[in-house]
Amino acid sequence: MDPVKERFLTIEKTKYYTIASPAEVSSLYGQLKTYLGSGDQALTELEYMSLMRMLFDLTVYIGKDVEAEALYKTFADRLGENSPHLHVMKATLIQINDKDAAAENYLTTLLKDSLEYDTDALDYLLVSKKLLSIRRNSLTKEKFIRQVLDLVDKFPLDAELWWFLAQEYFGLGQFEQASYCLEEVLCIHPFNYVAFGQLGQVLYYKALRDKKTNKTATLEASLNNFLRSVELSETFLKGWSFIANISKELGKKELLELAKGKLMEIQKSDSQVDSATAKLILEKL
Amino acid sequence: MSIISKVLLIVALAQLFHSGFSSYEFHQLKKQLAAGSSVAIDQISLPKDIRLEVLSGLILFTFSVFMSFGKLTYLPLSGKPVLLSQHEYLKEIDMNRATMTNNLIGSDPYGEITYTPNFVDVHAKRKELKQWLNDRESHDKVN
């Protein structure tokens, strides 16, 4: 596959653009517009629509509201307004053109009037998530988490919700709850090595806070999770750096040497960010 | 597809076509011979040169297919757009090795979950970008 096309599709599929830095968002917006304008024949209709959806989000982030409105109308003409993603897009437009309260009102009405009775689980889930994201800043942490938990009760197999909850608990320093949520993510995606890494990290921070008696056991549990993560992905930098640190703390020399070797391997890789990070970690070990 | 593989493919296809046509001509002649004389035509088999041409065409065709494979290349999701390669012609099958490509290009295959894209704070994102664009503008003015 063409590397340019593959890059855009990967960014869209992994939603990397939602966490990209402002500089990256800005350049990605320009690149994507040029690419879509060039009319790549290799793009299927589904891929084209997915990239257009990403362009809509980038346009919103960058503040080009008129263009975002035009993109929304293109989608609405094509698919009709009664579609899960269109509901979320419309709420976003109301958010930026009007106020959060208006968007909240739109989504609440949508849920009460139709989605509660419809059988479209995706629509209900997406709209509820959007509603929560809008309410996030206006509610207290306790109330917000309760609302997320209510949604989890309705959709216990949605990994994003569990991950989000884990992040919230982690931010509050409630490591046990956070690790429980991540275990749920792993039940849904047993090969998610990033989640194994995150669970290991939560347990590591828990170990730092634990008393001496529990510390070693928690560190061991954390180490096991990191080991599983690198078992699933050989060059997972986060996994190997924590393995090196924990094995150093626990005095596991063989494991430390192995981790160092792997970090050196990553340092030599073509990935600039991983290579620089691995170098830094090796210097501090 | 490299130029060499393209050339080989054309030669191979030409040979296969030519040998096929020659074989057709040979069988036509054989039929005519059978009708007009008392030669034992069952003993006349396909000439060696036609058979060798088919063989050579098939070998060249196989070579051209193998030579058309290029090493897989990728672009990193962030940073400078440099073409990255693991010097492999095919993707890895084992998961622990297959995920190495993701690590190389800085991609989290579970980003749809781990980046929590449905909980993005639109206002914060817009504010961050506006700030960055303003900073860049003022930086450009100074320079």
Chain B hits for A164, CB-CB cut-off 8 Å, are 116, 119
Q: Looking at residue A273, what is its pLDDT? A: 86
Q: Is the pLDDT of residue A188 over 80?
A: yes
What does R_g of chain A's alpha carbons equal in angstroms? 22
CB–CB contact B106 A10 (8 Å):
no
A126 close to A84: Cβ distance less than 8 angstroms: yes
Distance from the A278 Cα atom to the nearest Cα atom in chain B, whole angstroms? 13
Q: Tell me the C-alpha distance between A51 and B115, whole Å.
A: 18
Torsion of CA A153, A14, B119, A237, to 10 degrees: 90
pLDDT band at A52 (very low <50, low <70, confident <90, very high): very high
Q: What tens digit of pLDDT does each residue of A19-32 get?
A: 999 999 999 999 99
Torsion of CA A197, A198, A200, A204, to 10 degrees: 130
Q: Tell me the C-alpha distance between A136 and A235, whole Å.
A: 36
- Of A35-49, A246-260, B31-45, B121-135, the one with minimum mean pLDDT is B31-45
Q: What tens digit of pLDDT does each residue of A239-272 get?
A: 999 999 999 999 999 999 999 999 999 999 888 8
Chain A hits for B129, CB-CB cut-off 8 Å, are 22, 25-26, 61-63
ipTM: 0.91
Domains detected in chain A: 139-190 (1.25.40.10), 212-284 (no CATH)
To the question of pTM greater than 0.90 for the whole model, the response is no
Q: What tens digit of pLDDT does each residue of A87-131 get?
A: 999 999 999 998 899 999 999 999 998 877 877 788 999 999 999
Q: State residue B73 phi and psi, 5-degree precision.
A: -125, 155
- Of A154-168, B10-24, B82-96, the one with minimum mean pLDDT is B82-96
B107 close to A10: Cβ distance less than 8 angstroms: yes
Average pLDDT for residues A146-157, to the nearest whole number? 95
Q: Looking at residue A1, what is its pLDDT? A: 63
Report the mean per-residue pLDDT for chain A: 93
Distance from the B33 Cα atom to the nearest Cα atom in chain A, whole angstroms? 54
Q: Looking at residue A271, what is its pLDDT? A: 84
- Which residues neighbour A47 within 8 Å (Cβ) at sequence distance 6 or greater? A5, A9
Write out the two tokens for A128.
């509820």
pLDDT band at A236 (very low <50, low <70, confident <90, very high): very high
Residue of A nearest to B113 (CA): A160
Distance from the A143 Cα atom to the nearest Cα atom in chain B, whole angstroms? 16
Q: Is the pLDDT of residue B36 over 80?
A: no
pLDDT band at B35 (very low <50, low <70, confident <90, very high): confident
